[in-house]
Every structure is written in structure tokens, then in C-alpha cells.
């Protein structure tokens, strides 16, 4: 993930008591996809971000934030 985008996915997933594999199954993706999003290797699509938020019963804005001072498109 670029420095402009930060994620709380791992923290929220763990608070919900889910493994990467469990979250992946509920979201309909692979465990590797969850791992790469959590580790900043992959920026999720809008559809995946919305799906993860729904599964974790939170908002996309809670899961993913723009870093301070980052402009859209950075």
C-alpha cells in the first residue's frame, strides 16, 4: 500500500476473533488476498473494501484511511 493509504484491517479482524482464513472465506477471497491487504502489498478494490467492511460490521473509513496530508490520487 502506498504511504497515502493506511489500514486497520488486521487490528479489527483480530478484535472480531477472526483468522485471515475465516475473514477470507466470509469475504469470498483467498487468505493470501487478506494477507496482502493487511501488509500493504495490495490496495483493495472498492468492492472488496465494501465487502470487508460489511463482514467486519464497520465502515470503509474505519478500515482504510488516507494518511495525513495525502491528497486523493497520491
Domain containing residue 32: CATH number:
1.10.260.40
pLDDT value for 45: 95
pLDDT at 1: 45
Look up the domain containing 19 and give its range. Answer: 5-60
| pLDDT value for 53 | 97
Give the pTM. 0.84
Is residue 23 domain-resident?
A: yes
Per the structure, the count of domains in the chain is 1
Q: What is the DSSP string of 17-29?
A: T--HHHHHHHHTS
Asked whether residue 72 is assigned to any structural domain, the reply reads no
Instruction: Report helix, strand and coil shares of the chain as percent, to nearest 5.
Output: 50, 10, 40
Of 63, 62, 54, 57, whose CA–CA distance to 28 is shortest?
A: 54
Express each pLDDT in 7-44 by its tens digit: 999 999 999 999 999 999 999 999 999 999 999 899 99
Amino acid at each position: 500500500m502506498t504511504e497515502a493509504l493506511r489500514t486497520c484491517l488486521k487490528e479489527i479482524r483480530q478484535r472480531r476473533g477472526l483468522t485471515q482464513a475465516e475473514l477470507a472465506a466470509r469475504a469470498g477471497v483467498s487468505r493470501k488476498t487478506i494477507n496482502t491487504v493487511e501488509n500493504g502489498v495490495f490496495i483493495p478494490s472498492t468492492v472488496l473494501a465494501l465487502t470487508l467492511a460489511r463482514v467486519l460490521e464497520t465502515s470503509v473509513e474505519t478500515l482504510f484511511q488516507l494518511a495525513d496530508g495525502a491528497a486523493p490520487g497520491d
